[in-house]
Chain A
Amino acid sequence: MTAKQFFKSQAFKCIVVLLSILLVCGILLTIFNSLFYVSAEEKFDRAVKKIYGKQVETVEIKLTDEFTTKFSNSSVSEAYKVVDDGNYLIKSTGKQGFGGDVTCWVVVRMDGNTVAGAGNIAIDKASGESYVSKIDKSELAQFSKIEYTDGFEYELGKDGKDFIATGASYTMRAISNAVNGAIAFVSVNSALITITGDDAQ
């Protein structure tokens, strides 16, 4: 096949059409991405509004290697001290979900310098969790209703029968892990958090 034949062929037309469509789609996606990009600050503001119903003043706690975590099935990526009520807002990711991890914003309620349990919770990200929409506010509110004592861990099917009635029990297990991880993080690192938090203020 000569070059002239190739440029006149159906194969060349197919390539040109597909590449043109890809190019136009790519340009459109780039424009829309710059217009509708949701920044990390905006996501944080949304989470705070979801939890508190209004914007509250927070102080970020810089996480360093000195902070330790008690659980291997959860990890903490961000931590804030809420100035308004003295509680902590922790971004914690729970493992063992249904095909993915669940990242939650967890309020850790404080009674003075001791942990008093979990407060409001908002789901931030749940990649691969197709039934995360089954878990509504009432399901998440169960954590704050359960009495907390030091060292306590939330466990599916043990602390309340409704924990497994969502149709999304794997996702709920990941959320439980995230909540346990957030509470353990604050209780294990309480001295460090207080010092760092006070410094930040």
Chain B
Amino acid sequence: MKNKYAKITLDGLIFNNPTFMLVLGTCPTLGLISSASSAAGMGLTVVVILTLSNILISAMRKIIPNAVRIPAYIVIIATLVTLARMVLEKLVPDLYDSLGGFLALIVVNCIILGRAEAFANKHNVLESAVDGLANGFGFTCALTVMGIVCEFLGNGSVFGLKIMNFTVGMFATPAGSFIIYGLSIALFTYIMDVFMRSRRVKENRLARENLLDKNPEGGAKELAAKEV
């Protein structure tokens, strides 16, 4: 049981990270990562909306007929986004202004609809909530890290705090964001590749040792046959 939730969490955060591994939610990523605070704000808004939409869709999965599931999901997500807009405009107007048009575009963010279709309508409420939180935080972390890099290079600041005077203006624009996004995907994929390879090597070594421990003669022959 514990492993199940750990797997869902790790999948959302790392192994199936929506930004780096599944390349979802690209529009707000490119539009907002030139500022770390905007990127973090967008990420946290998505966490709330994704978690709530996953919970609601999972709770209603047995009521909603299959034929109208997509319109139903869209109505639920659009309502949540509109509610989030109202709350942000009233309580956090600076964040509302900085997110601009991208806040309304969360309705069509493919991470939210994707998780609803791929996960929430097949799993129970608690699992869906964990999946929403994990994917949301995976998206937030990715956006914030890229936002820090872009803001540092493009404006010489991090979260609005000036650090250096030397800047490369391109990184404050979506073109620079695109380059940082591509490099981040490459780096993340490389790290995951190295990690997965080392894990496979470790698993193979353990399997080999187990086989040899149980049956030294037969195991050695079996291994030799496998290697051939």
Task: Tell me the bound Cα distance from A10 to B98 in angstroms.
Answer: 45
Q: Mark A1-44, 1 if CB is under 8 A from B, else 0.
A: 00000000010011001100110010011001101111000000
> Least Cβ distance of A93 to chain B in Å?
17
A123 in the interface (beta carbon within 8 A):
yes
**Residues from chain A with Cβ under 8 Å of B83 in the complex:** 28-29, 32
Find out whether the CB atom of A18 lies under 8 angstroms from the CB atom of B71: yes
A60 in the interface (beta carbon within 8 A):
no
A160 in the interface (beta carbon within 8 A):
no
Most chain B Cβ neighbours within 10 Å, of A18, A29, A134? A134
Which 5 A-B residue pairings sit nearest by Cβ, starting from the closest? A167-B173, A25-B79, A36-B90, A36-B86, A130-B101
Task: Tell me the bound Cα distance from A38 to B173 in angstroms.
Answer: 31
Per a CB cutoff under 8 Å, which of B99, B101, B172 touches A167? Answer: B172
> Least Cβ distance of B84 to chain A in Å?
10
Task: Tell me the bound Cα distance from A13 to B69 in angstroms.
Answer: 12
Q: Mark B39-76, 1 if CB is under 8 A from A, else 0.
A: 00000000000000000000010011101100110011
**Residues from chain B with Cβ under 8 Å of A21 in the complex:** 60, 64, 72, 75-76
Are A130 and B100 CB-contacts (below 8 A) given A14-B65, A21-B72, A25-B76?
Answer: yes
Task: Tell me the bound Cα distance from A121 to B64 in angstroms.
Answer: 49
Which chain B residues have a beta carbon within 8 Å of chain A's beta carbons? 31-32, 34-35, 38, 60, 63-65, 67-68, 71-72, 75-76, 78-79, 82-83, 86-87, 89-91, 93, 97-102, 169, 172-174
Chain A interface category by residue count? 20 to 34
Closest to A138 in B: B155
A165 in the interface (beta carbon within 8 A):
yes
Find out whether the CB atom of B174 lies under 8 angstroms from the CB atom of A36: no
Which chain A residues have a beta carbon within 8 Å of chain B's beta carbons? 10, 13-14, 17-18, 21-22, 25, 28-29, 32-33, 35-38, 46, 123, 126, 128-134, 165-167
- Sample of 23 A–B contacts (CB below 8 Å): A13-B65, A17-B65, A17-B68, A18-B68, A18-B72, A21-B64, A21-B72, A22-B75, A25-B79, A29-B82, A36-B86, A36-B87, A37-B86, A37-B90, A46-B93, A130-B31, A130-B100, A130-B101, A130-B102, A131-B100, A133-B100, A134-B172, A134-B173
Q: Is the interface of A mostly helix, strand, loop or mixed?
A: helix
> Least Cβ distance of A6 to chain B in Å?
15
Find out whether the CB atom of B34 lies under 8 angstroms from the CB atom of A134: yes
